Amino acid sequence: MRSDTIKKGFDKAPHRSLLKATGCVSSRDDFSKPFIGICNSFNELIPGHAHLQELGRIAKEAVREAGGVPFEFNTIGVCDGIAMGHVGMRYSLASRELIADSVETVVEAHRLDGLVCIPNCDKITPGMMMGALRTNVPVIFVSGGPMKAGHTPSGQTVDLISVFEAVGKCSTGEITEDELQTIEECGCPGCGSCSGMFTANSMNCLCEALGFALPGNGTILAADPRRNELVKAAAGRIVDLVKEDVRPRTILTRAAMLNAFALDLAMGGSTNTILHTLAIASEAELDFDFAELNDLSAKTPYICKVSPATTEVHIEDVDRAGGISAILKELSKVEGLLDLSAPTVTGKTLGENIANAEVLDRKVIRSVEDPYSATGGLAVLYGNLAPNGAVVKTGAVSPSMMKHTGPARVYDCQDDAIAGIMQGDVKSGDVVVIRYEGPRGGPGMPEMLSPTSAIMGRGLGDSVALITDGRFSGGSRGACIGHVSPEAADRGPIAAVRTGDLITIDIPQRSMTVALDDETMRQRIEALPEFEPKIKKGYLARYARMVTSANTGAVLKTDF
């Protein structure tokens, strides 16, 4: 075992003495058992994580019962909703790398034999996955589970996005401050990852398709007693994975990646999943071209529409309708779409995992013969504004905005854009451009939930598009195009756009262009001053110097 390095031989007496002092090693017999890390992201700042301390306790008991010795440690976490709209959001994506580094550090420094990862939100799931892939020790993921949707006294179903959009409605006088407060108090009724197909739930659902989690990981509610049973089952399985030497790079094949992308497209998941999955592929040393997503989308039907694409369906409804296994079972009817032979942490193939799954509500999970769309709910756009690509959640775009031409309304930071939207500078037909908010320019590629929610709340969702080299919350909806690459800080074409330039977005044709000839574009870019970083000290300054483009997953460079 890897852990023999710190526990075997007379010369390891000091190591054993220290291990005994932790209280986790209860007898000399424990030194003959595998050492299992319980990587927990419990903290009391994130509603999706506030209950994870109890799940960690359940996991430790299960590992002990299965014949392992559990050692719990923690990673950091950022709540995107609380960090939204201020400098804190710049730390959000950047925290993914810190999480990956912390997992790598603890596993390698203490020679752990296996890992049970307990994440729940946004960057934490992919960050843990990246760290696990670096160390390549056997791992199993079990999330904290999604939040239940909220309900107002009048019976309206609400979630976090309802609260953000209500701010915009309040600013126009469409609702009163008292009505806003009612939605605020009902939007997030308890612990769990926010209740729609936002980034956290998207990633936890993808864990099932990737083969890293047991069925139910993405959809069983945090408050459901079945969540505790799932944690117990997952943690009990890790000792077998260690004995069988099933490693994450064995499971994360190219086929598994394509299975996960197909699920993402079928559910219209968060655009952030593309960013994170590309980063995960990078850690696994798998090649995946950004453009391949469009080829996969062309043959993947969009069969499950969840908030924010609709206000009628939340994650609890997907679970009731059969969960991720039912969606995958339905997708398996499309010839050649899924690789059902892909291995998983259950010890069975993906096909065996979903063999008995059944769709229980066709209003939630449609058939492949009757999809919302014949093509997937995400797309990559190209053109002279984004030579290296940009991403849009097509499933959350209204039909009237699938093709749009309008004048640019340019802002060099998110704060200015929010102010411009809220004070009425943005008019129907405009294309809002928010730049210098990419991985390097942000720094940290902040999410744009505040401006997109303001656009929706002010009634402009069917007439205004927004493009950015930053990114969007999984809760954003509308014609929101992010990850524009190259970013403005790297003198990408988005830096050349001026207010009034005509921008054409054609989502069906996967294109996005600005009405500028090549020479004008070149002259404008050459006239730009040298990019001045917003933050010049601390972690974000280091991050900005090392981060790569969004189309490669915004990972950190290791070669200089």
Feature table: binding site for Mg(2+): 80, 122-123, 447
473 is an active site residue = yes
Which DSSP symbol is given to 389?
E
Burial class (CB in 10 A: 0-12, 13-18, 19+), 223: middle
- 22: burial class by Cβ within 10 Å (0-12, 13-18, 19+)? exposed
Q: How far is CA 528 from CA 256, 388, 452, in A?
A: 43, 20, 28
DSSP conformation class of 399: G
- Residues contacting 554, CB < 8 A, separation 6+: 93, 275, 279, 439, 445, 547, 548
CA distance 170 to 24: 53
Residue type, 252: L
CA angle 390, 168, 428 (to 5 degrees): 60
267 phi and psi, to 5 degrees? -105, -5
CB 92 within 8 A of CB 78: yes
CA dihedral (324, 214, 130, 244) in degrees, to 10, reads -140
Can you tell me the distance from the alpha carbon of 428 to that of 415, in angstroms, rounded to the nearest whole number? 20
For residues 332 and 349, give the distance between their C-alpha atoms in angstroms, rounded to a whole number.
13
What are the backbone dihedrals phi and psi of residue 104, each rounded to the nearest 5 degrees, phi first? -55, -45
Given the residues 463, 473, 476, 485, select the one marked as catalytic: 473
CA distance to 99, 118, 126, 268, per residue, from 274 (Å): 18, 21, 11, 11
**Residue 401, CA distances (Å) to 389, 460, 466, 508 in order:** 19, 11, 11, 11
Known catalytic residues? 473
